[in-house]
Amino acid sequence: MRQDSLPVADSLVTLFLELARIPSPSGHERAVVDFLITRLRGMGLDVVEDEALYPDSRSSAGNLYCRLEANTAGVPIMLSAHTDTVPSGEEDLPEPVLEGDMIRSGSHAVLGADDKAALAAIVEAMAAIVHGNLPQAGIELLLTVGEEGGLRGAKASSLEDMVAECGFCLDCTGPVGGVIVRSPWQKTVNASFFGVSAHSGVVPEEGRSAVAAAAKAVAGMKLGRIDEETTANVGIIKGGEAVNVVPGHCIIQCEARSHDTGKLETQVSQMIAEINQAAAEEEVDIEITVVDEFQGFDFSAGGLPIELAERAFSRMGLETTRTVTGGGSDVNVFNLKGLPCVNLATGMEKVHTSDEYISVKSLHEMQDFILALVTEACEPGAGAGDPGNSDEPADG
């Protein structure tokens, strides 16, 4: 690892490099969660880990909760980031490399700036607050597992005991200063086609191809960018046993997203109609499940988390960029659970690839933002105004 340009006292970069070296693909976060528990408890903070998400052991660790009691008046806030990364190849281990101001992956593995850059900034900011006994109106941490695996940690989390009035999730690409103010609803459509297997070279007429039915269904679907608010995709098709066998089973997994709930329902209905029609034409049976993956939110008109974030960026001399996204994050779940929350850009780029990188400057801007946010939450009038109404459907 090349650290020739790393200042000796740059504990933030050192912490990020330590976190990035720990493999933690979704479902295998145990090592990084233990690292964070040790680090936070070393500050004297009370850290609680919830139980593993599901009895089928799809997660090796739980979410981490931590609260720093207020020492002054103001708005208590929640900070959140996730501990998992997308998977890399089994033989690929993270080898972060510092090249001047840029930190890149030194291997075919993902760097893990998504979302370990945010973890490092949060932990270092908390250390500065605790050790400096800085004024703060109450800070709660929720560090989730399983975000990359379908927001599983956030969905399993409990916010009932939280006193935070709003939350901030640091988990978005783009320059620091970016704020996601609008995110879509998403549904997945899973279909299993059941035909009849037969030898394709001897008695093909006795078979009924599940793959042919699935292909016909996909061909009839409206996919890609449907309009400026709506997208749809078929991501997985699996079927067949051998090239000389008429396939008796096939599955397709699809998704649809929209900022407009009416458009989402229309799109999902169209996909289901094509599945049913193809199954009928090919004389195969069908099972369909539709899952509400997450609900959207809309802070376009402002709200408490937007107000505080913009004031903190202004304090830093950074311009706020309000952004609409087609993606989802833990923020969607937190808003659904009743905590007004926004997602913030961290400076990470080319995430989910071996070309992922982040600058040292962005790491420090994140830490500085958290400290500025904590200060703004203590300012008179910080809690005035509408906290946001993210549960209302975005009708476009």
Q: Which residues are catalytic?
A: 84, 147
Cα distances (Å, whole numbers) of residue 138 to 67, 68, 174, 342, 374: 7, 6, 28, 18, 9
At a CB cut-off of 8 Å and minimum separation 6, what does 269 contact? Answer: none
118: closest CA among 60, 36, 183, 42? Answer: 36
For the chain, give me the number of helices (H) and strands (E)? 9, 19
Residue among 343, 40, 395, 391 nearest 177 (CA): 343
Cα–Cα distance, 53 to 31 (Å, whole number): 16
Mode of pairing for the β-strands spanning 357-359 and 102-104: antiparallel
Closest by alpha carbon to 98, among 362, 357, 366? 357
Q: For residue 217, what are the contacts with CB-CB under 8 A and spacing of at least 6?
A: 191, 193, 252, 274, 275, 277, 278, 279
